[in-house]
A and B are shown apart, each in its own frame.
Chain A
Amino acid sequence: MTDHALTSAPHPVAPFPPTQPTPRQRLALSHARALWGALFGTPVNAAITLACVAVLAVSLPPLVRWALVDAVWSGPAERCADGGGACWAFIGEKLRYILFGFYDQDRQWRPLAATLILLGLAGMSAAPLFWRRATLGVWLVGLAVALLLLCGLPDGPPVPTERWSGLPINLLLTTIGMIGAFPVAVLLALARRSRMGGLRSLAVLFIEVTRGVPLIAVLYVATLLVPLMLPSGLTIDKLLRAQVAIILFVSAYLAEIIRAGLQAIPDGQYEAARALGLTYWGTMRLVILPQALRTVIPSIVNLTIGLFQDTTLIVAIGLFDVLNTARNAAKDPAWLGFYTEAFGFAALIYLTVCVLASRYSLWLEARLRRVER
Chain B
Amino acid sequence: MRWASPPGRPGLTGRVVSWWGERPVTQAVLLTGVALILVFFAINTAANMERFGITPGFGFLLRPANFEIGESLIGYQPQDSYARAMLVGLLNTVKVALVGGLLATVIGVALGVARLSGNPLLSALVQGYVEVIRSTPLLLQLFFWSATLQALPGPRQALNPVPGVYLCNRGILLPAFAEDGAGGWVLLALLAAVAVGGAGMWLRSNHIMGRTVGSIGRGRWPDALILLIALGTGAGVIAGSGVSLTVGFPELTGFNFVGGGVVSPEFSALLIGLVVNAAAMIAEIVRSGIQAVPNGQWEAARALGLPRGRIMRLVVLPQALRVIVPLMTSSYLNLIKNSSLAVAIGFPDLVSVVNTSANQTGQVLESMAIMMGAYLTVNLIVSALMNAQNRRLTDRRRR
Contact = CB atoms under 8 A, between A and B. Distances in A.
A188 interface: no
Contacts of B140: 312, 323, 343, 346-347, 350
A229 B156 CA distance: 53
A343 B144 contact: yes
Interface string B105-143: 000000000000111111001000001101111111001
Contacts of A350: 135-137, 140
B153 to A, nearest CB: 14
A220 B355 contact: yes
The binding surface of chain A is classed by DSSP as helix
A343 B147 contact: yes
A225 B137 contact: no
Interface residues of B, number: 61
B20 A340 contact: no
B225 interface: no
Nearest to A52: B121
Contacts of B246: none
A41 B120 CA distance: 12
B174 to A, nearest CB: 24
B5 interface: yes
B375 A217 contact: yes
Nearest to A302: B134
Interface stretch (A82-90, A106-114, A157-165, A191-199): A191-199
A190 to B, nearest CB: 12
A32 interface: no
A351 B20 contact: no
A274 B2 CA distance: 11
Contacts of A217: 340, 351, 368, 371-372, 375
B239 interface: no
B358 to A, nearest CB: 6
A345 to B, nearest CB: 11
A323 B372 contact: no
Interface stretch (B21-29, B60-68, B79-87, B295-303): B21-29
Interface in A219-241: 220-221, 224-225, 228-232
A315 B139 contact: yes
B136 A351 contact: yes
B245 interface: no
A53 interface: yes
A92 to B, nearest CB: 20
Interface of A: 35, 38-39, 41, 45, 48-49, 52-53, 55-56, 194-200, 202, 209, 212-217, 220-221, 224-225, 228-232, 274, 279-281, 305, 309-310, 312-313, 315-316, 323, 327, 337, 339-340, 343, 346-347, 350-351, 354-355, 358
